[in-house]
């Protein structure tokens, strides 16, 4: 069926219709359509129905040139995904996973995928085999190269309660960074912007952890939608420091859109969060690669 | 698919609209409810939503944006929700359950403007829960109760759980089971909830076919084979507040999940639930549009199924 067809106009129920969503110019900075634990090409094609239906202007794929489990190992689908990126420059971008446990190999990958390839950034995935979080000195080389390339830096973070006695963060996977780790890294690179992904899961903790560091942006995807969470982040960080991600297909666009629509903020602030802030962050590398961008 | 806006909806769906615009007190057999609880007086002609999953009062760990009843009521109205089945967050920890239930009734009456239908609670681990249940039915005229097993420290394997279902069925009351409340990864460290097993529900409901049971906030806790068995072997109803994934409500109905094929869940089993004020109410509403549902499917989920469930007896 046509993804633009709706049985009822959503605005009847006080939510934006597709045209209004389009006008927000939404960039999904957390797109898992190529997640390799499943059949990624087929899944991406299925996902495009929802991307189109929900008026998403661009998706930034995270599972390109490596997987969540093996960030530095090429995926068997890379060649086909590269073709798709090349043929869909107006809709599809990609950042590539790296592993701070292997800084040299990570930098080699960045040369291949970003300087000499289509990638626009890097992702620190949620855990790694050597248990190295993003604040480790290994990251210095990676961040310096990312800054030189103008690459977007996305860091998966979570604060999982665990341990004995139980405390926030002690339930994290080995090498899974927290927003507190991002804060330590950001302190060493005050002129480099980076994204604290998933708001640390526990957003009340995550926002506090990064609020002193103006170079850190917050992204909310992947956690449950909690009413008031974006209000809190805007109050503490300002609307200029929040970017948006969809996290599909494992999360619904409904979940992620609702976090921002719930917030008592202006239309202009909503537009910043939905896409403008990310476009500003990525503008440099888009221009370096002669990719079309209108902030 | 033909686009239906509010105007064309009205002209194309006169019968459906007529049914929807009936006051709840007429459309449903709500004889046990007070007039204040039988439906709002501000309905107009158009589709409106029955939200089967909201809670009143304070979430124990955070002040919620729409935590005040009046604020929640106005927020729900903005989204054409005209009736909400309301539990009470105090049920999670309080020992004086009757005080929890009486406060809920009073709050619905005082600040609900006809919006909220109170769903009290019982705790099987607290002595003489049967008297709390009797009062819910006979004194407070509630159509059902809601339990929160993760916090109330009993689950469906509790020896008295079948008795609870039996007594509810005799009273023609609904049982709502709040399977989860929040992501356990972010619990306050002092909270260490146990896991719950919903499998015993299958045999109990088979033995008591008149039982009316709805699972709230269940998805990703009850899934796969257990969900299929619950749907096939019982008449369990499900809210959509935690149904997650791109287009997930449609995938449930079609049996085409992202990770696997599954047995389709009949749309008659799916009820609108927002989990407000903890979740943004927008979340569940957008799910209805993210999935390419038909008009009949949307109307079933937002209204018809809940009305039918409430009046079954």
Contacts of A15 in chain B (CB under 8 A): 79, 282, 285-286, 289
> What are the pLDDT digits (tens) for B141-192?
999 999 999 999 998 999 999 999 999 999 999 999 999 999 999 999 999 8
Contacts of B53 in chain A (CB under 8 A): none
Find the closest chain B residue to A54 by CA distance: B290
Give the pLDDT of residue A37. Answer: 67
Q: Are A197 and A220 spatial neighbours (Cβ–Cβ below 8 Å)?
A: no
A164 in contact with B at a CB cutoff of 8 Å?
A: no
- Which among B253, B179, B263, B191 has a CA at the least distance from the CA of B227? B263
E runs forming strands in B126-168: 144-147
Contacts of A223 in chain B (CB under 8 A): 183, 186
- Do residue A9 and residue B5 have CB atoms under 8 angstroms apart? yes
Give A168's contacts (C-beta < 8 A, 6+ positions apart). A159, A160, A161, A202, A205, B189
Give the pLDDT of residue A39. Answer: 87
> What are the pLDDT digits (tens) for A36-79?
766 899 999 999 999 999 999 999 999 999 888 889 998 889 99
Res. B227: pLDDT tops 70: yes
Mode of pairing for the β-strands spanning A167-168 and A161-162: antiparallel
Instruction: State the nearest Cα–Cα gap between B272 and chain A, in angstroms.
Output: 13
Give the pLDDT of residue A284. Answer: 96
Contacts of A9 in chain B (CB under 8 A): 3-6
> What are the pLDDT digits (tens) for A142-195?
999 999 999 999 999 999 999 999 999 999 999 999 999 999 999 999 999 999
Residues of A (231-250) whose Cβ lies below 8 Å from B: 231, 248-250
Cis status of the peptide bond prior to B196, with omega within 30 of 0: no
> What are the pLDDT digits (tens) for B81-108?
999 999 999 999 999 999 999 999 999 9
| Interface-testing mutation among A3, A5, A6, A8, with chain B (most B C-beta atoms within 10 A) | A8
What is the average pLDDT across B34-55?
Answer: 64
- Do residue B292 and residue A5 have CB atoms under 8 angstroms apart? yes
What is the average pLDDT across A128-140?
Answer: 97
Find the closest chain B residue to A205 by CA distance: B186
Give the pLDDT of residue B17. Answer: 35
A13 in contact with B at a CB cutoff of 8 Å?
A: yes
**CA distance linking residue B34 with residue B11, whole number of Å:** 33
Regarding an ipTM greater than 0.90, the answer is: yes
Give the pLDDT of residue B73. Answer: 98
- A/B interface, count of CB pairs below 8 Å: 160
Instruction: State the nearest Cα–Cα gap between A105 and chain B, in angstroms.
Output: 32
Rounded percentage of chain A residues whose pLDDT exceeds 70 = 99
- Do residue A9 and residue B78 have CB atoms under 8 angstroms apart? no
**CA distance linking residue A33 with residue A40, whole number of Å:** 7
């Amino acid at each position: 069926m046509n993804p633009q067809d709706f049985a009822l106009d959503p605005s009847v129920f006080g939510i934006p219709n597709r045209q209004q969503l389009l006008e927000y110019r939404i960039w999904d900075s957390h797109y898992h359509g190529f997640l390799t634990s499943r059949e990624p090409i087929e899944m991406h094609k299925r996902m495009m129905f929802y991307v189109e239906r929900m008026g998403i202007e661009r998706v930034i794929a995270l599972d390109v040139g490596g997987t969540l489990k093996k960030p530095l190992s090429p995926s068997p689908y890379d060649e086909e995904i590269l073709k798709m990126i090349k043929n869909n420059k107006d809709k599809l971008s990609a950042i590539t996973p790296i592993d701070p446990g292997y800084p040299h190999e990570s930098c080699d990958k960045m040369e291949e995928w970003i300087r000499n390839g289509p990638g626009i950034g890097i992702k620190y995935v949620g855990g790694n085999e050597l248990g190295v979080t993003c604040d480790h000195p290994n990251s210095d080389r990676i961040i310096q190269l990312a800054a030189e390339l103008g690459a977007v830096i996305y860091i998966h973070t979570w604060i999982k309660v665990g341990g004995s006695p139980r405390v926030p963060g002690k339930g994290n996977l080995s090498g899974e960074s927290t927003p507190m780790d991002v804060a330590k890294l950001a302190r060493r690179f005050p002129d480099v912007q980076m994204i604290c992904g998933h708001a640390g899961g526990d957003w009340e903790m995550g926002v506090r952890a990064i609020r002193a560091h103006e170079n850190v942006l917050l992204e909310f995807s992947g956690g449950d939608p909690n009413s008031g969470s974006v209000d809190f982040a805007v109050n503490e960080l300002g609307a200029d420091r929040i970017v948006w991600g969809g996290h599909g297909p494992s999360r619904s666009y409904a979940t992620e859109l609702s976090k921002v629509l719930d917030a008592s903020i202006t239309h202009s602030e909503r537009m910043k969060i939905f896409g403008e802030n990310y476009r500003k962050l990525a503008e440099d590398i888009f221009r370096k690669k002669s990719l079309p961008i209108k902030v | 698919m033909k686009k239906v806006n509010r105007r064309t909806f009205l002209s194309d769906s006169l019968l459906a609209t007529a049914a929807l615009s009936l006051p709840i007190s007429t459309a449903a057999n709500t004889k046990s409810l007070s007039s204040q609880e039988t439906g709002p007086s501000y309905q107009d002609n158009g589709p409106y939503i029955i939200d089967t999953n909201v809670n009143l009062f304070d979430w124990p760990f955070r002040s919620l944006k729409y935590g005040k009843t009046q604020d929640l009521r106005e927020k729900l109205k903005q989204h054409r929700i005209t009736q909400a089945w309301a539990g009470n967050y105090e049920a999670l920890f309080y020992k004086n359950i009757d005080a929890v239930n009486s406060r809920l009734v009073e709050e619905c009456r005082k600040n609900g403007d006809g919006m909220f239908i109170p769903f009290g609670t019982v705790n099987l681990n607290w002595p003489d829960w049967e008297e709390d249940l009797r009062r819910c039915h006979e004194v407070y005229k509630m159509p059902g109760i809601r339990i929160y097993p993760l916090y109330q420290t009993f689950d469906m394997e509790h020896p008295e759980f079948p008795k609870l279902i039996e007594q509810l069925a005799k009273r023609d009351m609904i049982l709502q089971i709040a399977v989860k409340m929040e992501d356990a990864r972010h619990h306050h460290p002092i909270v260490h909830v146990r896991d719950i097993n919903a499998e015993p529900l299958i045999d109990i409901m088979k033995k008591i076919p008149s039982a009316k049971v709805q699972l709230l906030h269940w998805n990703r806790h009850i899934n796969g084979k257990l969900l299929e068995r619950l749907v096939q072997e019982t008449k369990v109803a499900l809210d959509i507040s935690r149904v997650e994934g791109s287009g997930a409500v449609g995938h449930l109905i079609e049996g085409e999940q992202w990770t696997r094929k599954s047995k389709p869940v009949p749309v008659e089993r799916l009820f609108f639930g927002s989990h407000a004020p903890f979740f943004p109410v927008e979340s569940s509403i957008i799910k209805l549009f993210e999935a390419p549902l038909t008009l009949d499917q949307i109307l079933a989920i937002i209204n018809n199924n809940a009305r039918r469930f409430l009046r079954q007896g």
